[in-house]
Amino acid sequence: MSEQIQNISYRDLSSDAVERNKVLKNTYWLLALTMVPTVLGAWFGISTGLSYALSGGLGLIVFMAGAFGFIYAIEKTKHSSKGIAVLMGFTFFMGLMLSRMIAMVLGFKNGTDLVMIAFGGTAGVFFLMASLATVIKRDLTGMGNWLFVGAIVLMVGSVINIFVGSSIGMMAISMLAIGIFSAYMLYDIKQIIDGGETNYISATLALYMDLINVFQSLLALLGLMGGERD
C-alpha cells in the first residue's frame, strides 16, 4: 500500500513539474513574440511624428488610460486565444508610448549605439535573473509585497518629476526603477518555476512590463549621462 501511495505521489510531482515547465516555455515564446509589435509600435510613433504629441500631462493620461484598459482586458481574456491578441495590441501600444523617448535618444549623435546598449543591457538583466531563479531554492513570495510598495513609490515619484522636470530626479528614478524591476523579473520567473503562476499569458504580461521598465530606465539613464549632441 505504501509503495502505491509513493508511486502516485511521484507521478503527481512529475506531472506538476511538466506543467510548470510547459508554462515557463510558453511564457518565454510569447514574450519573444511580444517584441515584434513593440518594435512596430515604436517605429510607427517615430515615423508619423505621433511620439512628439505624447508628452507631458497628455502623454501621462493616454498612457494610464491605455495601460490599465489593456491590462484589465488581458486579465479578462487570459484563458482563451483572445488574450494573446489583446496582449499583442497592448505591446504595440507600449511601443508607441516608448517611441517619444526612443526618438529623443536617436536625436543624439550616438543615439543608435545608446538604444542598442539599452537593449543589450535589458537582455543581460533578463538572462541573469532567469538564471538566478533556477538556482534559488527559497520561497520569494514575501518579496512581492516589498516590490509592490517600491513600485508605488516609484510611480508617485515619476508623476511628480514629469511636472518638476529635474534631470537629477530622472536619474535617481531611473536607477531605482532598474533595481526594482530587475528584482521583479526574478520574482515573476520564480513564481512560474514554483507554480505560483499557472497562466502563461498573465506570466508574459508581468515579465513584459518588467522588461519594458528596465529598458526604458536604462535608455533614459544612458541618454542623460552619455548622449552626445552634434
The 10s digit of each residue's pLDDT in 12-42 is 546 677 888 899 999 999 999 999 999 999 9
The 10s digit of each residue's pLDDT in 63-83 is 888 889 999 999 999 998 899
Task: Report whether 111 contacts 219 (CB < 8 A).
Answer: no
Task: Report whether 110 contacts 227 (CB < 8 A).
Answer: yes
Long-range contacts formed by 193-200: CB under 8 A, 24+ apart: 193/20, 193/24, 193/133, 193/134, 194/20, 194/139, 195/16, 195/19, 195/20, 196/141, 197/23, 198/19, 198/23, 199/23, 199/78, 199/79, 200/23, 200/26, 200/27, 200/30
- Total domains in the chain come to 1
Range of the domain at 136: 2-226
The 10s digit of each residue's pLDDT in 157-209 is 887 877 777 788 888 899 999 999 999 999 999 999 988 888 999 999 999 99
pTM: 0.88
